[in-house]
Structure 1
Amino acid sequence: MSLTFLTAIERSQPLPAPILELGANDHAPIAHEPTGSGFSLDRTLGLGAPQIHGLLVDDDNLLGFGIYPGDRLIVDRSAAPVVDQYLVVRPEGDVEYSLRLLAPDPRGGLLLKAARPSIPSIVLDDLDSIEIWGVVLWVVSYVGHKQP
């Protein structure tokens, strides 16, 4: 599986002052344009906080989790993992990070399950044998049509 750690997350920018200064006569609102609710994607996702990072999904190895190539994962490095959350992990000896689902082991304890059933789960009986880089809080998907 391939994940790209994004070095910087693009931030939403405020509207330029000339647009904000337009009077009612200068700009007719569009009939279907929603009115302000104060929604901020940056605030919702926690972007800008030092513990929040973005990762890009590069391939289709996460389809079993419903995560597609091109999706962005918003990861919190300070969150404590809990069952049924996706974790960015690196087992001891591996050079690449991977995404796993933290799940209960039917025999007791915890497992890190892969998106593909053919990849064996990792039994979490020794937390020193695996690096938990962060907890995935959000999966951001683009569903529009790409421009040619």
Structure 2
Amino acid sequence: MSINYLGRINALGRPLPFYSFTVPAGFPSPAQDHIERDISLDELLGLRLPQVFLARVGGDSMKGVGIFDGDLVVVDRSVEAKPGMIVIAALNNEPLIKTLCKEGEQFILRSENAAFAPRYVLESDELLIWGAVLYSIRSHSHARA
């Protein structure tokens, strides 16, 4: 699994229309009178700049939690990483996206795909937590056969 750092999120996000109705399992034609207000994605996602950055995920070790190859993840460096959280970490300078776990005093970076073994952090290892994953973003624009 690889991580490509894409950079901080631009503070000057473009406002988008925010519709006040919930879309069931289809997309009804949104009428102008359903527009509640304009909202920016950084406002909608509650992003706190400049601690937030984007990274692109490579690989499928986190597919069990819905993070797939090519997805973007929104990462917050200001959130204290706790066991059970999905984090961007560097283990011996190797960037990873994993679930942070702890058994006793032993830290473990766990994949969310049974095909990948957990990474136990040894005393001689260097573990740096870059941030906690807040959101994943996936494009659904590809055509299905």
- Give the structure-2-normalised TM-score: 0.68
Q: Is the 8 A contact 1:12 1:42 kept in 2?
A: yes
Quote the Cα distance in structure 1 between the aligned partners of 2:102 and 2:128. 19
Partner of 2:50: 50
Taking the TM superposition and a 5 Å limit, the aligned residue runs for 1:84-99 are 84-92=84-92, 94=93, 96-99=94-97
- Find the structure with the greater CA-based Rg: 1
Q: What does residue 2 of structure 1 align with?
A: 2
User: Is it true that 1:32 corresponds to 2:21 in the alignment?
Assistant: no
> What amino acid sits opposite 1:120 in the alignment?
A
Partner SS for 2:14: coil
The SS at the match of 2:74 is: strand
Q: Is the 8 A contact 1:86 1:135 kept in 2?
A: yes
| 1:131 equivalenced with 2:125 (yes/no) | no
Q: Structure 1 pair 89/127, CA: closer, same or farther in 2 (3 Å)?
A: farther
Structure 2 unaligned runs (5+)? Answer: 17-28
Relative to total residues, which structure has the larger strand share, 1 or 2?
Answer: 2
**1: CA distance between counterparts of 2:124 and 2:136?**
26
Q: CA offset at residue 39 of structure 1?
A: 3.7
Normalising by structure 1, what TM-score?
Answer: 0.67
Cα contact 1:45–1:74 (8 A) shared by 2: no
After TM superposition, give the deviation of residue 90 of structure 1 in Å: 1.1
Distance 2:124 2:40 in 1: 36
**Which amino acid is the alignment partner of residue 110 of structure 2?**
K
What is the RMSD computed on CA atoms of the aligned residues? 3.0
Q: CA deviation at 1:128?
A: 7.0
Within 2, Cα distance between the matches of 1:71 and 1:82? 23
Secondary structure at 2:7 match in 1: coil
Instruction: Tell me if structure 2 keeps the 8 A contact 1:46–1:52.
Output: no
Structure 1 unaligned residues grouped into runs of 5+: 16-29
Superposed displacement of residue 124, structure 1 = 5.0
Percent of aligned positions with the same letter in both sequences?
28
